[in-house]
Each structure stands twice: as structure tokens, then as C-alpha cells.
Amino acid sequence: MKGCRPLTDSEIATVKNAFVRTRDKALFILGLKTGLRISELLSLKVGDVYQYGRLADVVYVERKHMKKKLEGRAIPLHQDAKAALSVWIKELEKAGKTDASSPLFRSRKGHGQRAITRVQAFRVLTEVYEANGLMGNRGTHSMRNTFADGIY
């Protein structure tokens, strides 16, 4: 079978507890709970999830960031995703980096002006998968497949 396969509940629990950085944990949980593609997740700005001093209930991904670019999509945020984002946003606030137009999942390179790349997101996730003995085809798309498997 080609492509990434979904994660089991026990694998999800293992991976959630294995992240060192809150940014990476927030990325993983947001991907699991929204079903967004990695490029859509990385296109999010701080202002998309953090508005008027609190987390938004719905995240809107603009049409230009969608795969077929036909229309944007509004996704309600799951409580688990809100909890992970809350921790990440608090960390950004401490660093003074909650400008609405800055990337939500910022890179450490380039003074945080750009989001991490899809390749870096893949590296982060596969490192955690391998460190916890999760073998097989797993990558960034595993989050989306896990979301779809839960809906099915």
C-alpha cells in the first residue's frame, strides 16, 4: 500500500508525550484534530488562531493555501487543539512574538519571519516516530489520515 497510514490511539498517545518543543506538539495535535494538509497548517498565521486576546473557535484557511485553490475552508477547533495552541501561544507571548501577521509555526532561522518548511515538519515528525519505535510509512500526511480514519 502506497502512502502514509493512520496512527492508532496508542501511537497517538505515545507521540503526544514524546515532543520536546511545544511548537511541534501543537502542530501535531492541530493536524490530528483538523485534518488539514501540512502546507495548510504551515500557512496559518498567529492572527488566524489568536484573535482579540483569546483563541478563536474556528480557523479559516484561505483559498490560496488550499490544494485546488477553489475555495477556502473554515474548521472548528477541537478542545485538544485549543489546549495545545494555548500553551504554544503563551510561549509566543513570553517571547513577544504574537504579531497577527507572523507565522504560527515559525522557523528559528531567519529570525522567525518564516514558517518552518514542509521538509522540516516531516523531519520533526519522523524523528519522534522513529524515537518511539513507530515503523512503517508515517509522515506529515499521517495526521490527515488519522483524522479521516476517526471520522470514518
pLDDT tens per residue, range 98-126: 888 899 999 887 665 788 999 999 999 98
- Yes or no: say if 114 and 106 are a contact pair by the CB < 8 Å rule: yes
Q: How far apart are CA 79 and CA 97, in angstroms?
A: 23
Q: Residue 38: which of 125, 108, 100 has the closest Cα?
A: 125
What are the C-alpha distances in Å from 120 to residues 105, 123, 148? 11, 5, 23
* Count of beta carbons in the 10 Å neighbourhood of residue 85: 25
Q: According to the model, what pLDDT value does residue 64 have?
A: 65
Query: Low-confidence residues of the chain, pLDDT below 50?
Result: 1
pTM (two decimals): 0.89
